[in-house]
């Protein structure tokens, strides 16, 4: 993550960005976040692809199914399906 942040900051090192400007800090924070997010998605995809046909460690602890091919937006905590976590939460509220 640190390397990603440094890479973004390096792109701006010769610029005239004004760190006192809230809009510049906002733009820089967004650029850093977008790069970190893209790196995380790429890493998750590479790990999932490397593990095809073998145990990847990408398993939902609730239902026991493989989650290596589930889109990142549908992963809950750890490697659980978001749907499974929501169902467990709903069941606990109903009790």
Question: pLDDT per residue over 19-50, tens digit each?
Answer: 999 999 999 999 999 988 888 888 877 776 66
Dihedral angle computed from the Cα positions of residues 55, 56, 58 and 60, in that order, rounded to the nearest 10 degrees: 10
Q: Can you tell me the distance from the alpha carbon of 42 to that of 44, in angstroms, rounded to the nearest whole number?
A: 5
If asked whether residues 34 and 70 sit together in one domain, one would say no
β partners of residue 59 = 66
Domain shared by 74 and 31, yes or no: no
Whether the Cβ atoms of residue 91 and residue 83 lie closer than 8 Å to each other: no
Looking at the chain, list the stretches that DSSP marks H as alpha helix, in order from N- to C-terminal side. Answer: 2-11, 22-50, 82-94
pLDDT at 56 over 90: no
> What pLDDT score does 69 carry?
87
Domain that holds residue 67: 56-95
Q: Is 59 or 49 the better-scoring residue by pLDDT? A: 59
User: By three-state DSSP, how is residue 70 classified?
Assistant: coil
Residues 25 and 62 in one domain: no
The number of domains in the chain is: 2
Average pLDDT over residues 79-83: 92
Q: 65 and 36: one domain? A: no
């Amino acid at each position: 993550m640190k390397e990603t942040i440094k890479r973004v900051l390096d792109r701006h090192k010769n610029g005239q960005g004004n760190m006192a400007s809230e809009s510049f800090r906002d733009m820089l924070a967004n650029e850093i976040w977008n790069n970190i997010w893209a790196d995380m998605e790429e890493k998750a995809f590479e790990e999932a692809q490397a593990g095809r046909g073998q145990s990847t460690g990408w398993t939902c602890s609730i239902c026991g199914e493989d989650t290596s091919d589930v889109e990142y937006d549908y992963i809950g905590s750890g490697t659980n399906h978001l749907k499974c976590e929501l169902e467990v939460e709903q069941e606990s509220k109903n009790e």
